Amino acid sequence: MDGSLREMMEKLADLKIVGRVEELAAEAVKGTTEGQVYILSRNGAPSYVLKLEEAEYTRETAQFLNRYAEAPLLPKLLHVDQEHRYLLYEYQHGTTHVNRGGKKDWMSELARGLLNHYTPERTFQGYGRPDSPCESWREFNGRSLVFASERIGDYLPAKDHELVERVWKEKLRDWGEEDKYWLHGDTGVHNFVFDEDKMTGVIDPSPIAGPILYDLTYAFCSSPDDLNVETLLGAYNELNIRTVEPGEVILETAFQLYCRIAICLMHHPQDLPAYLEAWPLWADMAEKLTS
């Protein structure tokens, strides 16, 4: 076992947060570029997750988990290092990505188990991510539009690029302070834990300030299955706070789907055919709603 890892485990044991070090086994799992993640098993049973990250990310993650400690889908935070080198939270049984069950079910569970627990954000100045804040939500979406259009290129016809830009300029709401919440920011299936076809957890926040609808549409578009209006609006209707009509939800989703195609090209290109098959329906709806 790595010396620094053992030192962390010994400190956690001394603080009575975990059992004796002799009872623990650490398994390294895939982390981020900057960090490392370990599953700590106690007497053979996975019990804790130890995350080593950059201090700012650790601080933001801990603040998010503390802020929404009552949200049943989030793991219980057990300890944060004083220097924010690492944090420890309870292990959530299941796997990410797979054994998801139907999107209609897990999207509704996401709304009930996390999104409905969000609280307004009044202290953060601006919108988007703390390390690169925007003056407005329109600016945040504008950055996403530029990022996506450059990467999608000829995968979509010019008229579709023009349509999405028109949606951004003319139809997407420039959400104001009254609709600004502290969001997870990366609500994709890669961060959702499923067990026996049910959603059991949400991990790895990348917090941003913005409207709740962002996390909802981001989650909906994060996998290419069941990209239909019925599933979308079923989840939207589970939200306690619903401030827009269905047509606006559809436009927000069309924009998000466009951005997801770019992310797909970068991180999960195997899903591209399914996304391109789903896209014309949303482009057609967006066209009708903007004409």
Write the pLDDT tens digit of every residue in 91-100: 999 999 888 9
Phi, then psi, of 75 in degrees rounded to 5: -70, 150
CA distance 178 to 198: 33
Check residue 274 and give its pLDDT: 98
Span of 1-10, 47-56, 212-221 with lowest mean pLDDT: 1-10
Q: Indicate if the pLDDT at residue 30 is higher than 80.
A: no
Contact between 248 and 255 under an 8 Å Cβ cutoff? The reply is: no
Write the pLDDT tens digit of every residue in 114-158: 999 999 999 999 999 999 999 999 999 999 999 999 999 999 999
Write the pLDDT tens digit of every residue in 36-63: 999 999 989 999 999 999 999 999 999 9
> Which amino acid would we find at residue 130?
P
Return the bridge partners of 107, or none. Answer: none
**Section 262-276 average pLDDT:** 98
CA distance 38 to 223: 26
Write the pLDDT tens digit of every residue in 157-211: 999 999 999 999 999 999 999 999 999 999 999 999 999 999 999 999 999 999 9
Measuring CA to CA, which residue among 94, 103, 105 is closest to residue 200? 94
Neighbour tally for 59: CB within 10 Å: 15
Check residue 1 and give its pLDDT: 53
Write the pLDDT tens digit of every residue in 235-250: 999 999 998 999 999 9
Neighbouring residues of 22: CB distance < 8 A, sequence distance ≥ 6: none
Check residue 31 and give its pLDDT: 60
Rg over alpha carbons for the chain, rounded to the nearest Å, is 20
Tell me how far CA of residue 224 lies from CA of 92, 176, 203, 262, in angstroms.
25, 30, 20, 13
Check residue 91 and give its pLDDT: 97
**Mean confidence (pLDDT) of the chain:** 95
Check residue 36 and give its pLDDT: 92
Write the pLDDT tens digit of every residue in 165-176: 999 999 999 999
**Section 5-24 average pLDDT:** 91
Measuring CA to CA, which residue among 163, 194, 123, 204 is closest to residue 288? 163
The per-residue DSSP string of 51-120 comes to EE--HHHHHHHHHHHHHTTT-TTSPPEEEE-TTSSEEEEE---SEESSS---HHHHHHHHHHHTGGG--B
Measuring CA to CA, which residue among 140, 144, 153 is closest to residue 210? 140
Measuring CA to CA, which residue among 244, 237, 185, 236 is closest to residue 210? 185
All structural domains of the chain, each given as residue ranges with its CATH number in brackets, are: 3-91 (3.30.200.20), 96-290 (3.90.1200.10)
